[in-house]
Structure formats: structure tokens, C-alpha cells
């Protein structure tokens, strides 16, 4: 049964449903944080939204690569344990990508709201 878990990623809280043990959740959060920090170090001028987009593209690339490995595997039928584990990992990465897309949407809405407030304050002066 899935449990509701709050994750602190890049200073924001993301809530997700998962059956994964806490150790796995911690590994995922660490991987995402590491990727975010890596992208930020590469180009300090990137906005948070662009950083998240690059991270999503990178994670999607990993998903595609894993899928290609599964497809190329000899005798990689769905009953093959290794193949099933890779499929589960791909599904997990897809879910993470969707959650990040949702987070980016939330951040874009917040940015628009703050920009509107700034414009209103400027107009009031």
C-alpha cells in the first residue's frame, strides 16, 4: 500500500505516494539534488525552471537508455527477473519525471504570482 511522503528537494517540498522504503527514497532525493547541483555549477545563470528541465531531460535520457538495454537483451522476456527489475526502475523514473514536471508548474505559477505582486507594488508608488 502506498504511503504519502514529503520530500525536501532544492528547498521545496514535494509530496508523493510511494511504496518504496525510506532508504530508496533517500537515494532518489540525493540523486536529484546531485543532478540539480551539477547543472547549476555548469551554468550559474540558469533559472530554477531551466535547471529542473535539464534534470528532467537527463533523467529521461537514462530511462530511454534502460529501455534500450531491455529491448536489446537476449531472451529479456517479462518473466526474466532482471528485465522486470529494469522495467520497474524505468516506471519509477517516469513517475519522478512527472512529479518534477508538476513541481516546475507550481514554481512557474508562484513566479507569475510574485511578478504580479511586484508590478502591483510598483504601480501603487
Tens of pLDDT, residue by residue over 74-93, are: 555 555 677 777 778 887 88
User: Does position 62 have pLDDT exceeding 80, yes or no?
Assistant: yes
Please state the domain extents for the chain: 3-124
Task: Find the mean pLDDT for residues 43-51.
Answer: 87
Query: Long-range contacts of range 62-68, CB-CB < 8 Å, 24 or more positions apart?
Result: 62/93, 63/90, 63/93, 63/94, 63/97, 66/90, 66/93
pLDDT above 70 covers what percent of the chain?
94
Task: Find the mean pLDDT for residues 2-31.
Answer: 86
User: Does position 73 have pLDDT exceeding 80, yes or no?
Assistant: no
The pTM of this model reads 0.54
Answer yes or no: are the C-beta atoms of 14 and 27 closer than 8 Å: no
Amino acid at each position: 500500500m502506498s504511503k504519502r511522503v514529503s520530500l525536501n528537494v532544492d528547498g521545496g517540498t514535494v509530496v508523493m505516494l510511494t511504496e518504496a522504503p525510506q532508504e530508496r527514497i533517500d537515494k532518489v532525493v540525493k540523486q536529484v539534488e546531485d543532478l540539480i547541483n551539477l547543472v547549476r555549477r555548469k551554468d550559474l545563470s540558469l533559472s530554477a525552471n531551466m535547471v529542473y528541465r535539464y534534470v528532467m531531460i537527463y533523467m529521461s535520457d537514462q530511462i530511454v537508455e534502460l529501455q534500450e538495454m531491455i529491448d536489446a537483451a537476449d531472451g529479456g522476456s517479462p518473466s526474466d527477473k532482471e528485465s522486470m527489475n529494469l522495467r520497474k526502475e524505468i516506471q519509477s523514473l517516469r513517475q519522478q519525471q512527472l512529479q518534477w514536471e508538476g513541481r516546475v508548474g507550481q514554481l512557474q505559477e508562484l513566479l507569475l504570482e510574485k511578478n504580479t505582486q511586484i508590478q502591483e507594488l510598483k504601480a501603487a508608488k
